[in-house]
Amino acid sequence: MLELRGVKVAYGGVEVVHGVDLGLAAGEVVGMIGPNGAGKSSVLRAVCGLARPSSGEVVFEGRVLNGMAPERIARLGLALVPEGRHVFKSLTVAENLRMGMRRNGNGAAALERTLERFPILRTRAGEHADRLSGGEQQQLAIARALLGQPRLLILDEPSLGLAPKTIDLIYELLTGLREEGTTMLLVEQNAARTIDFCDRCLVLGAGRVRVEGRREELEGDSDLLHTYLGGQP
């Protein structure tokens, strides 16, 4: 469904991603982990149209996304839940959700399903989004992305800044989504949970893919530790 071929990303002359290949089939859940500065968010920005790859191609269901405006990419069915959530603080929860809905009007059913999955949002529908806790904002951001009925859901560090219990809750939600067959690309810094959760993980370090594999292959892998902490364990 999604393919990255030799994607390089540069900001103002500084190349931060030195050629990343990635493949994602429909229904798969793939994770990207690695230390900060490895380039994970930059890869996501390139996919969503917020940054233009300086080299290489981003292909989504056969279409090349390079250079396309982010709103067009979103309408093609890619939804990003960005790092830091970025709910609209000056809007209410309900309005935030509305922003996620497609314009083609069959939103009511989707909205109902979403509110069932995220009951807290129904309770706080009329409140301004900045009154929500971190975990609730994360739920709102995910719900908002889901309302667009995306073909691919991309999450950038959903557990950032959340307490462990809240992270458990979020991952429960994500597990439910996976069981429904939602295709997901998940970027996290917390390696263990991501390795556990995803079908497959890529480990990024200094702008390149260092290691790639399934859970069994990665757990306990010394290369993985080396990428994060240097030296030998």
Q: Which member of 1, 2, 16, 142 binds another protein (CB under 8 A)?
A: 16
Q: Which member of 3, 5, 19, 35 binds another protein (CB under 8 A)?
A: 35
222 vs 227: CA distance, rounded Å: 9
Q: Which 83-142 positions form the footprint of another protein (CB under 8 A)?
A: 84, 86, 88-91, 95, 98-100, 102-103, 130, 133-134
Q: In the Cβ-directed half-sphere of 122, how many Cα atoms lie within 13 Å?
A: 9
190 vs 163: CA distance, rounded Å: 13
Tokens standing for residue 23 = 């493949």
> In this complex, which beta carbon is closest to another protein, that of residue 27 or of residue 196?
196
Cα separations (Å) of 82 from 143, 186, 211, 218, 225?
Answer: 13, 11, 24, 26, 26
> In this complex, which beta carbon is closest to another protein, that of residue 23 or of residue 101?
101
Tokens 């890529």 belong to: 202
Q: Which member of 3, 15, 127, 168 binds another protein (CB under 8 A)?
A: 15
> In this complex, which beta carbon is closest to another protein, that of residue 63 or of residue 89?
89
Minimum distance from residue 2 beta carbon to another protein (Å):
16
Q: Which 157-186 positions form the footprint of another protein (CB under 8 A)?
A: 157, 160-161
Q: Which member of 148, 155, 170, 200 binds another protein (CB under 8 A)?
A: 148
Q: How many residues appear in the chain?
A: 233
Q: Is 80 in the site for another protein (CB under 8 A)?
A: yes
End-to-end CA distance of the chain: give it in Å, rounded: 37
Q: Is 19 in the site for another protein (CB under 8 A)?
A: no
> In this complex, which beta carbon is closest to another protein, that of residue 35 or of residue 56?
35
Question: Which residue, among 22, 25, 2, has the nearest Cα to 181 in the 3D structure?
Answer: 25
Question: Which residue, among 191, 195, 185, has the nearest Cα to 216 in the 3D structure?
Answer: 195
Tokens standing for residue 118 = 């995220």
147 vs 100: CA distance, rounded Å: 5
Minimum distance from residue 88 beta carbon to another protein (Å):
5
Query: What is the phi/psi pair of residue 64, to 5°?
Result: -80, 125
Tokens standing for residue 168 = 């458990």
> In this complex, which beta carbon is closest to another protein, that of residue 53 or of residue 82?
82
Contact positions vs another protein (CB under 8 A): 13-16, 35-38, 48, 50, 69-71, 74-75, 79-80, 82, 84, 86, 88-91, 95, 98-100, 102-103, 130, 133-134, 144, 148, 157, 160-161, 189-193, 195-196, 206-207, 219-220, 224-225, 228-233
